[in-house]
């Protein structure tokens, strides 16, 4: 085991972020089912430890590139939950003024370069962010989240190669959640091993249990140290099955219903975190329950506000196509 000391304040912060993601996504699920949310929503439940274990290492000046399943990344990176909800409801004052929606939430002030509805499109953009960091020598690091489905896109291979030859401060954070839309990884992944593929580009690449916050945190920690030292990119493959469908409303006929029950019962990242945090690091279960209550109240309040918020004015259709034209 890595030699890590865990500060209780950091651990409570990590738990708060994971709980916020869980609560947020469970609420979104109910809202989508009730028909209140426009467009497609892709839920992150089951993968909370990946986003949080990663982003706990990052500052606002560090960047992340996200995916269509981006809510968890946003929350982990510190985006305002109320402004995220306004965006998901396509309301005025949302993080993208209501014109991006769930699949395009971005918040550059927080170093969040955007959820992205094109699978595999984020890594080249993240290469650019890392290029900025390297050119301006900011000491910053960029993380690009990549699903197991996206791992088969050519853009990912191009980005791995470019980051490798230019020694960019970039971390390829693969989230292996078992499915590329409706297709399982045992079918879609040639060679059968994502990390080994990334390692072929000449960078450290390891596979960790993505349900285990501590495992993710420690692996990403190694990659961040390497990136900030100017030693180049790394890859981490975090394995954590998603609990819900590709999008909310997906009937998941490709999946044994027992699979999800087993995950919820035996592979809950929050439960796993709590067991160890209480046992080894002196965190009180009562402290965590307090956080649970706080978060539940926060999400409830913010959902109510988002639903009641005004929609963007009709003129917004024509604004912000260009800076000037």
Partner 1 sequence: MPMKSFREAINDTLKQEMRRDPRVIVMGEDVVGGMGGSSGVAEAAGGTFGVTAGLAAEFGRRRVIDTPITESAIVGAAGGAALTGLRPVAELMFIDFIGVCLDQILNQQAKFRYMFGGKCTVPVTIRTLMGAGLGAGPQHSQSLHGILTSIPGIKVVLPSNAADAKGLLATAIRDDDPVIFCEHKFLYHETCEVPDGEYLIPFGEANVTRTGAHVTVVAFSRMVMLANKVADKLAKEGISVEVIDPRTTSPLDRDSILESIEKTGRLVVVDEGTPLCGMASEIASLAACEALSALRAPVQKVTPPHTPIPATPHLEQDWLPSLDKIERAIRATLDQKLARTG
**Bridge partners, residue 107, by sequence:** 112
Give the nearer residue to partner 1 in terms of CB position, either 211 or 224: 224
> What are 206's strand-pairing partners?
236
Q: Which of 315, 303, 300 is nearest to 97 (CA)?
A: 315
CB of 77 to partner 1, least distance (A): 15
Of the two residues 146 and 291, which places its CB atom closer to partner 1 in the complex?
A: 146
**Is the Cβ of residue 2 or residue 165 nearer to partner 1 in the bound state?**
165
Using alpha carbons, list the distances in angstroms from residue 321 to 100, 146, 257, 316, 324: 13, 28, 44, 10, 9
3-state class (DSSP) for residue 63: strand
Q: How far is the CB of 97 from partner 1 (least distance, A)?
A: 3
Minimum distance of partner 1 from residue 152's CB (angstroms): 14
Give the residue with the Cβ less far from partner 1, 157 or 305.
157
Which residue lies nearer to partner 1 by CB, 27 or 99?
Answer: 99
- Provide the minimum distance between the beta carbon of 194 and partner 1 in the complex, in angstroms, as a whole number: 19
Region of residue 260 (left: phi > 0; alpha: psi -120 to 50; beta: else): alpha
* Least distance CB 310 / partner 1 (angstroms): 15
Least distance from partner 1 to the Cβ atom of residue 102, Å: 12
- Rule CB under 8 A: which residues touch partner 1? 63, 65, 94-100, 104, 106, 108, 113-114, 116-118, 121, 123-133, 135-136, 154-155, 158-159, 161-162, 165-166, 319-325
d(CA 306, CA 293): 20
Cα 320-135-169 angle, rounded to 5 deg:
95
Q: Which is nearer to partner 1, 35 or 323 (CB)?
A: 323
Closer CB to partner 1, residue 124 or residue 204?
124
Provide, rounded to whole angstroms, the least separation between the CB of residue 120 and partner 1. Answer: 9
CB 85 within 8 A of CB 146: no
Give the pairing of strands 183-184 and 179-180. Answer: antiparallel
Distance CA 54, CA 162 (A): 22
Residues contacting residue 81 through CB under 8 Å, at least 6 positions apart: 20, 24, 75, 298, 299, 302
Residue 81 to residue 85: CA distance in whole angstroms: 6
């Amino acid at each position: 085991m890595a030699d890590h000391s865990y500060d209780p304040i950091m651990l409570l912060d990590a738990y708060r972020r994971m709980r916020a993601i869980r609560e947020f996504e469970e609420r979104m699920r109910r809202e989508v089912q009730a028909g209140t949310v426009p467009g497609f929503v892709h839920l992150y439940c089951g993968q909370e430890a990946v986003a949080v274990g990663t982003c706990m290492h990052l500052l606002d000046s560090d960047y992340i590139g996200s995916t269509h399943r981006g809510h968890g990344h946003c929350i982990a990176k510190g985006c305002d939950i109320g402004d995220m909800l306004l965006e998901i409801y396509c309301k005025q004052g949302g993080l993208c003024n209501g014109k991006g929606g769930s699949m395009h939430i971005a918040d550059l002030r927080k170093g969040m370069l955007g959820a992205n509805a094109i699978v595999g499109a984020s890594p080249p953009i993240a290469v650019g962010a890392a290029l900025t960091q390297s050119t301006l020598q900011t000491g910053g690091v960029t993380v690009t989240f990549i699903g197991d489905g996206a791992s088969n896109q050519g853009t990912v291979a191009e980005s791995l190669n470019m980051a490798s030859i230019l020694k960019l401060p970039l971390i390829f954070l693969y989230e292996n959640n078992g499915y590329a839309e409706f297709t399982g990884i045992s079918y879609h992944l040639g060679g059968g091993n994502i990390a080994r593929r990334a390692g072929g580009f000449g960078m450290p690449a390891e596979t960790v249990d993505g349900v285990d916050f501590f495992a993710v945190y420690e692996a990403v920690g190694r990659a961040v140290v390497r990136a900030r030292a100017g030693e180049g990119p790394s890859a981490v493959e975090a394995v954590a099955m998603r609990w819900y469908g590709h999008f909310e409303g997906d009937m998941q006929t490709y999946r044994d219903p027992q699979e999800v029950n087993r995950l919820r019962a035996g592979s809950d990242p929050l439960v796993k975190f709590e067991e160890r945090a209480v046992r080894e690091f002196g965190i009180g279960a009562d402290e965590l329950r307090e956080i649970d209550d706080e978060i539940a109240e926060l999400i409830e309040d913010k959902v109510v506000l988002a639903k009641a918020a005004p929609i963007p004015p009709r003129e917004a259709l024509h604004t912000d196509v260009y800076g000037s034209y």
